[in-house]
Amino acid sequence: MARSTTKKAPAKSAGKKKKVVKPPTPSPPASSDEEQEESENEVDDNSEGEEFTDGKTFTDDNQKWLKMKGDDSASEDDEADSDSEASISQIERDAMALDAEKEEEVKEFEEDLQRQRQEMTKVFHLPTAEELEEDEDRVVPPSEIRERVEEIIEVMQDFKRRREPSRSRTEYMDQLESDLSEYFGYLPELISLFLKMFSPSEALEFLDASDKPRPLVIRTNTLKARRKDLAQALIKRGVNLDPLAPWSKVGLKIYESTVPIGATPEYLSGHYMLQSAASMCPVMALEPQPGEKVLDMSSAPGGKTSYVSQLMKNEGIVVANDLKVERQKATVGNLHRLGVKNVITCCNDGKNFPKVMGNFDRVLLDAPCSGLGVISRDQSIKVQRTVKDIERTAHLQKELLLSGIDSLNAKSKTGGIMVYSTCSVSVQENEQVVQYILNKRDVKLVDTGLKHGKPGFQRYQERRFHPSMQLTRRFYPHTHNMDGFFVAKFRKLSNKERIPPPEEVEDEEVSGEEEEDVEMDVEEDEEEVSEEKKALRAKFMSGIVKPEDDEEIDSEEETKKSENKPKKERWEKIKKGKKKKGEKVVKEQKSKQVAGKKKSGGGGGPEKKKAKK
Amino acid sequence: MRPLTEDEMRTMFQKLSTYIGKNIQHLLQNKTEAHAFRLLKDRVYYVSESLLKAAPNLPADTVLSLGTCMGKFTKGKKFKLHITSLDVLNRYALYKVWVKPSSEMSFLYGNNIPKSGLGRITDGVPQYGGVIVLSMSDVPLGFGVAAQSTEVCKDLEPTGNVVLHQGDIGEYLRNEDDVF
Amino acid sequence: MSLNAMDVAPSAFSSGSDGLSEKMRFDLQNLVAYNDFEQQHPSGEEELEQFLLDKASEGTQQLLQNLFSLPWKKSDVGPLALLPGYSKTDLGIDNSLTVLPRAKPPPVQKEETRWSQFAKEKGLEDKKRGRKEWDEATGEWKVRYGMGSANKEKEEYPIMPAVNGDPNADPWEHERGKKRAKVEKNNLNRLKNQERTGAVPKGTAKKYEKKIEADTHARDVQKSRDQPGIPLDLKTGKGSIVKTAGKRGLENTKRALEMTRLSTASMGKFDQARAGEGKKRRSGEEIKLRRKDMSSIVTQTRSSENQKSLQVLDSVLKGSAKKEKMRKTGQMSTGETGHDYDYDDGLGGGKYRKKKGRAGAGKLKSASKKMIK
C-alpha cells in the first residue's frame, strides 16, 4: 500500500520518539497549507513505520495506534492514508486529530490539578526536636534538606491551612533557618538577617542567586572608543556579547569568549574596563558634569573614577582617594591605561576629607561594606561575616558619609550632590545609615534616576524611616541579575547641622555607638516626650485616634509638602503613621509573608491593648 | 611636588624630541588649557592648570599621581619614557610604524619588530629615531626606536629588526608595579 | 804625589807652545782664566771666529793644566780636585778674583721705631728672658707661658676685686675693657710706626683711632640702654622710638602688644585668645610673602615657567645630539671647573674597571638591546 507522506500533526512531547528513516518521497503540495501550520516535527515523523497512522507518537495515553484485527476504523484509517479517493478528506482527518489532542491535554491538566490538590492538602510533617536528635548521626543529603526547605516555604505561604496544628510558627521558622544555613553554608545569624528582610521564598531565591556567578560585564571607555566599534572588534576576536541593558549606553555583557577578556589589545589600549553592572549605577546616579570638582572617596581599583572622568569628558577635576596604597596603585595604572587626564590620585583616610580639601561639587562614596550582595564573587563571606562586622562597617560608613557631606559645597551652582552606595543588602548599612545622615545634616534625598531598581525600605522591623527613603534604590541578584547593591543620592541644602527632634530618636533603637551624639541632645527633651506620648496613648486607647493602615505614605507628595511645612508638624504627621513604642514584635509576626495580615495598628490594636495591660 | 629644573627639562626634552621633535611646543602651549610638567618623587607628570590649582591643597606625601605620567628620572639622572605617555606621544608623533597582526602579540610581549612584521613606515625616519608603533587599525600599541632608517629598512632581510622595543601597552599587565 | 796633565792625556796637552803662550790669571774657585793681554784680531768674520776659538782653546788648556796642580782626593768617580774657597775653613773668605753681581736686591733700610730710638739713647739693651719664672705663690720655678705657668693672679676667680666706684658694674666686663684698651693702644702705635716707615698708607692710623672712638661710644650707648628695669621702647635718646620718656603712645602700645603676644616659648601659637581678642591678623608683609610662597608652587605656569621651558626647548632643538655628547664628555669645556679637566690624552687611562667582565660595568648588568643611547 502506497503510503502517503502526510504531514503529521504536532506530536506530543511526552511521547517516545522512534528512529528516523527518511524516505525520499515529497509531500503533496495541495494539502500542504493547513498541515504546514500544524506540523512541527515534520522531519522526525515523516517516515515511521507503516503502523504509524495519524502522526501521533506512541504513548500509553494515546492508544489509538493499537489496532485490532478486522477493526473497521483501522482499515478505514488505512484506506484513508492513501492520497487519492479518501472517504474523509485530509483536513477533516487533521481536525479530528486536533480535537483528540485537545481532549488529551485537558485530561492531563485535570490529572495534574488533582495531583496538586492532593499535595496542597497533604500536611507536611515538620520534624520535631526528638526526631532531629535521632537524625543527628545520619548525614542528611542536601537534596533532602532542600526538599524540606521548599516544603516549609510552601507551608508558610498558607500557614493556617497547611500547618501541623501542634506546631508553632517559630518552630517552622527555626527549622527553616537551620536548614538554609546548613544547605547553603552560611552562618545562622546571616540567614536570620536575610529572613528578616525577605519573605522565605524570596530569601531562598536570593540565596540561590548568591551561589551562582553574575555574568561578566564590561564598560566601554567613551574617551577612546564607541560601543559599536568595540563590540565589533571583540566579536571579530571571538567573543559572544550583547548590550548590557536598556538603561546603560556603555555596558556590554559577555556570555563567552575564546580570548581572555582582560588581555585583549583593546583592553590594553584602554577601550574598555571590566566592571560589574552594579558598579555602574552609582556613577550614573551621580551624573558628574564637565568642569566640576568631584571627589571619589573610595576609588580603588578605579572603575568608578574612570567612569566619572568619562562622563566629564576629561574636563574638570577628580580627586580619587583610597585608604590603601597598594590598591590605589592599581587605580593609577587603570586610569593611565584608560587615558584619563583629569584625576589626582591620593591616599588619605576618607575621614580627613573636608580638612584636607573641601568644596566639591559632587562626592561619590562607594563605602567599604560587609559585601552581603557580592557573595557570588567571594563565597567566604558566608562564614566570615557576622552581625558585629555589619555594625562595625555601618559605623565606618556613617563617619565617611558625614565627611563626604561636609566636603560638599552647598552653594555649588551645578551640584552639591552626594551619592552613597554599598554592595550590601543589609538594612543596617543602607537605610539606617541614610536615616542617620538625614538626621544629622541638612540634606535631602533626591531621585537617583535609576528606574530599574527596587525602592529602599520605608520601614524595617520596628524602625521607621523618612518617607523619602523610597527614592533610594536596591538591587538584588535574584531580581536584577546584578550584584546586591544600594544607591542613595543626597543633595546638600546648607552647611548647618541638624539637631534631630526627640520623638524620632526615641522610636528608633538606640544602640551604643551610633546614637551617642544624638542622645545627648535628646536628654533634655525626654520628659516632654514622655508626656506627649502618654497623651497620644490615652487618645488611642479611648478610640479617638483611629489606627490607620500601616501602608507606606505616598512619599513624593509627602516630601514636597513636608519641605514647606515646619519641622515639628512633619514629625507629628509621620508619627501618626508609626507604631507605638513598647509594642514588642512577637516572633510570630516576624514573617512578612503572612499574606493579607496587616502588621498595622488595625490588626494589632486589640493585641496591643492586651500587651499593655 | 615641584617644577623641573633646567637640567632636568633639558634631559627630558631631548628624549621627547626624538619622538615628537618640535611639537613639544604644543605640549607647552596647549591651546585648550595650559599644562605644565611637575616632578613628584622622580616621576614627571604632565598636568593641566586646573589640577595644579587643586593639587597643593592635598598633603604632599599622600599624592600618588597627577594628570598623565610621562616617565621618570633614573638614578643616573637619565629620563626614561613610560608607556603611560603613549597618548600624548601619539598625538604629536613624527614617525609612525604600523605592525602586521601576526607580529602584534610578539611586540606586546616585549620583543622587537622584525622586518617580516612591518606593515607600513613613515618616510624619512632617521636611524635611532623615536617611533610610535600602531596596529593596522590605527590603535597605538607602544613606542620604540627605529633600528634603521627608512631606506635601509626597505632592503632589510625578513629577520632583521626594524623597531627596537622601548615600551608597549602589554606592560600594563606584565609590569604593573612600574606604572606607579 | 801630584798629577800631571801630561801623564793623564798626553796628546791633548802640548808643552811645546810654552814660550809663546800668554800667561793668564786664574780664579780657580770659579774656574775662570783671565787673559788680560791686548789681542790683535783679524778683520774677517770667519777668521775672527777661528782666532777666538784658538784663543779659547789655549785658555782652557792652561786652566785645566792649573787645575791639575790643585790638591786632590780620591772618590768612587775618580780623583777629585779640591777647589779653593769651598772647604769649611775657607768659607766666608772670598779669595776669588771674580766679583759676582748681587743676586737679590739690597735690603731696605728699616726706619728705626720710636722705641728703638729711645732704647739707643738710653742705652737699653734687649733682655733675654729665660724659660722659667719664679712663682711667688707656690715658691717654685714655673714655665713662663702655657700650662702650669707662674703668676696667674688674674685668674683667681670668682672673687673679683670690685670696680672702683660703681657698685653695679660688672668686674669681668671691666677687666675685658682694660685689656681691650691695651690692645687698641698697642695696635695704634704699631700702625703709627708703620705709617712713619711707609709700610702702610698714610691715614690708616687715624682711621683706626676713629674706629676705636666710635666703638667705644657705641658700647657706652648700649650700656646706658641696657640698664635693667626700663623697657627698651621707653628709653629716649639716640635712635629710640619714643619721644617722651615713660610714655609709649597708642601706636607703640599696639606694637608692644604684638610683641608680647609672640614672646612665649612657642611664639604665641598655642595661647588661647581671650574674650575680645580675636585671631591674630597677618601683617601685610606676611600676606605678601605667603602669597609669594603659594604662587611659587603653582601659578608660574603661564608666565615665567612657560617662558623658561620654551627657552630650554629652543636650545635643545638647536643643539644636535653630537654637540650634547661632546658637552657631556667635556670636549667643549672652557677649563673653569674641575669637571673640565677630564681631558682625554689618548692614552686610555680613564676607563679603569675594578672587576672584569660585565660585572665591572656595575649596574649595567643586563645590557640588552633596549640600551640605546
Whether B66 and B141 map to the same domain: the answer is: no
Q: Which is the catalytic residue, given A281, A346, A369, A423?
A: A423
Q: What's residue A467's pLDDT?
A: 93
Model pLDDT for residues C285-328, shown as the tens digit of each residue: 666 655 555 545 555 556 777 888 888 888 888 876 677 677 66
Given an 8 Å threshold on Cβ–Cβ distance, is C313 in contact with B13? yes
Whether B107 and B168 map to the same domain: the answer is: yes
Over range A309-319, report the average pLDDT.
Answer: 95
Given an 8 Å threshold on Cβ–Cβ distance, is B37 in contact with C309? yes
Does any domain span residue B179?
Answer: no
CATH code for the domain of B141: 2.30.130.10
More confident site: A573 or A458: A458
Burial of residue C107 (CB within 10 Å: 0-12, 13-18, 19+) is exposed
DSSP-derived pairing of the beta strands A251-257 and A239-243: antiparallel
Given an 8 Å threshold on Cβ–Cβ distance, is B58 in contact with A357? yes
Rounded CA-CA distance A507/A501 in Å is 11
Whether B9 and B74 map to the same domain: the answer is: yes
Rounded CA-CA distance C69/C60 in Å is 15
Which range is least confidently modeled, A224-233, A239-248, A584-593, C241-250?
A584-593
Over range C231-249, report the average pLDDT.
Answer: 70
State how many domains chain B has.
2
Given an 8 Å threshold on Cβ–Cβ distance, is B14 in contact with C316? yes
Given an 8 Å threshold on Cβ–Cβ distance, is C298 in contact with B29? no
Q: Which three cell numbers stand for residue A492?
A: 546638600
**A166 annotated among ligand-binding-site residues:** no
Which range is least confidently modeled, A227-231, A381-385, C327-331?
C327-331
Residues of chain C with Cβ-Cβ distance to B13 below 8 Å are 312-313, 316-317
Q: Map out the domains of chain A with their CATH numbers.
A: 2-121 (no CATH), 129-211 (no CATH), 216-274 (3.30.70.1170), 277-498 (3.40.50.150), 510-612 (no CATH)
Whether B42 and B107 map to the same domain: the answer is: no
Looking at B89, B112, B140, the residue that finishes a domain is B89
Which range is least confidently modeled, A65-74, A78-87, B44-53?
A78-87
Q: What is the mean pLDDT of chain C?
A: 76
Which range is least confidently modeled, A9-18, A499-508, C307-316?
A9-18
Which range is least confidently modeled, A247-251, A306-310, A525-529?
A525-529
Residue B118, beta-bridge partner list = B99
Q: How far is C361 from chain B (nearest CA, A)?
A: 14
Which range is least confidently modeled, A333-337, A548-552, B112-116, C121-125?
A548-552
How are strands ordered across the β-sheet holding B161-168?
B113-114, B161-168, B140-146, B130-135, B96-99, B118-121
Looking at B36, B56, B89, the residue that finishes a domain is B89
**A301 annotated among ligand-binding-site residues:** yes
Q: How far is B159 from chain A (nearest CA, A)?
A: 24
Across B4-151, the runs of DSSP E, i.e. the strands, are: 35-40, 43-48, 63-66, 68-73, 79-81, 96-99, 113-114, 118-121, 130-135, 140-146
Q: Which residues span the domain enclosing B55?
A: 2-89
C239: left (phi over 0), alpha (psi -120 to 50) or beta: left
Given an 8 Å threshold on Cβ–Cβ distance, is A329 in contact with B180? yes
**A410 annotated among ligand-binding-site residues:** no
Looking at B89, B107, B122, the residue that finishes a domain is B89
Task: Report the sign of the C-alpha dihedral through residues B163, B165, B170, B172, in that order.
Answer: negative
Over range A47-65, report the average pLDDT.
Answer: 57
A261: left (phi over 0), alpha (psi -120 to 50) or beta: alpha
Which range is least confidently modeled, A349-353, A460-464, A524-528, B109-113?
A524-528
Out of C305, C324, C370, the one facing B3 most closely (by C-beta) is C305
Does any domain span residue B163?
Answer: yes
Burial of residue C324 (CB within 10 Å: 0-12, 13-18, 19+) is middle
Model pLDDT for residues A238-287, shown as the tens digit of each residue: 999 999 999 999 999 999 999 999 999 999 999 999 999 999 999 999 99
Q: How far is B7 from chain C (nearest CA, A)?
A: 9
Distance of CA C296 to the CA centre of its chain: 43
Q: Where are the alpha helices (DSSP H) in chain C?
A: 5-8, 45-67, 114-122, 171-197, 204-225, 250-262, 284-297, 306-318, 321-328
Q: Is residue C295 within 8 angstroms of chain B, CB to CB?
A: no
Given an 8 Å threshold on Cβ–Cβ distance, is C372 in contact with B164? yes
Residues of chain C with Cβ-Cβ distance to B76 below 8 Å are 363
Residues of chain B with Cβ-Cβ distance to A293 below 8 Å are 54
**A245 annotated among ligand-binding-site residues:** no
Q: How far is A392 from chain B (nearest CA, A)?
A: 26
**A303 annotated among ligand-binding-site residues:** yes
A327: left (phi over 0), alpha (psi -120 to 50) or beta: alpha
Does any domain span residue B17?
Answer: yes
More confident site: C96 or C268: C268
Percentage of chain A beyond pLDDT 90 is 53
Q: What's residue A37's pLDDT?
A: 45
Out of B13, B17, B145, the one facing C372 most closely (by C-beta) is B145
Say which residues have a Cβ less than 8 Å from residue A559's Cβ, sequence separation at least 6. A444, A445, A467, A468
Q: What's residue A524's pLDDT?
A: 44
Q: Are A244 and A251 in contact (CB under 8 A)?
A: yes
Whether B82 and B113 map to the same domain: the answer is: no
Q: Phi, psi at residue A277, to the nearest 5°?
A: -60, -35
ipTM of the complex as predicted: 0.95
Whether B67 and B22 map to the same domain: the answer is: yes
Whether B68 and B125 map to the same domain: the answer is: no
Whether B83 and B104 map to the same domain: the answer is: no
Of A414-418, A568-572, A595-599, C186-190, the range with the highest mean pLDDT is C186-190
Whether B81 and B112 map to the same domain: the answer is: no
**A298 annotated among ligand-binding-site residues:** yes
From chain A, which residues contact B within 8 Å (Cβ)?
233, 262-263, 265-266, 268-270, 293, 316-317, 319, 325, 328-330, 332-333, 335-337, 339, 341-348, 356-357
Give the angle A229-A233-A239 at the CA atoms, nearest 5°: 125
Kindly identify which residue of chain A lies nearest to residue B107, measuring between CA atoms: A265
Burial A43-77 (b: 16+ CB within 10 A, else e): ebbbbbeeebbbbbbbeeebeeeeeeeeeeebeeb
DSSP-derived pairing of the beta strands B118-121 and C32-34: unpaired
Is the pLDDT score of A77 beyond 70?
no
Does any domain span residue B34?
Answer: yes
- Rounded to whole angstroms, what are the CA distances from A30 to A26, A45, A88? 12, 20, 16
CATH code for the domain of B41: 3.10.450.220
Which range is least confidently modeled, A453-457, C311-315, C333-337?
C333-337
Whether B63 and B40 map to the same domain: the answer is: yes
Q: What's residue A557's pLDDT?
A: 45
Q: Is residue C308 within 8 angstroms of chain B, CB to CB?
A: yes
Given an 8 Å threshold on Cβ–Cβ distance, is B64 in contact with A345? yes
Q: Is residue C300 within 8 angstroms of chain B, CB to CB?
A: yes
Does any domain span residue B180?
Answer: no
Does any domain span residue B29?
Answer: yes
Q: Is residue B112 within 8 angstroms of chain C, CB to CB?
A: yes
Given an 8 Å threshold on Cβ–Cβ distance, is B64 in contact with A263? no
Given an 8 Å threshold on Cβ–Cβ distance, is A357 in contact with B54? yes
Is the pLDDT score of A415 beyond 90?
no
Task: Determine the 3-state secondary structure of B131 from DSSP.
Answer: strand
Q: Which candidate in C301, C307, C320 is best for mutational testing of the B interface (most B CBs within 10 A)?
A: C301
Give all chains having 3 or more CB-to-CB distances under 8 Å with chain B.
Answer: A, C
Whether B104 and B131 map to the same domain: the answer is: yes
Whether B43 and B24 map to the same domain: the answer is: yes
Q: How far is B127 from chain C (nearest CA, A)?
A: 11
User: Does A423 participate in catalysis according to the annotation?
Assistant: yes
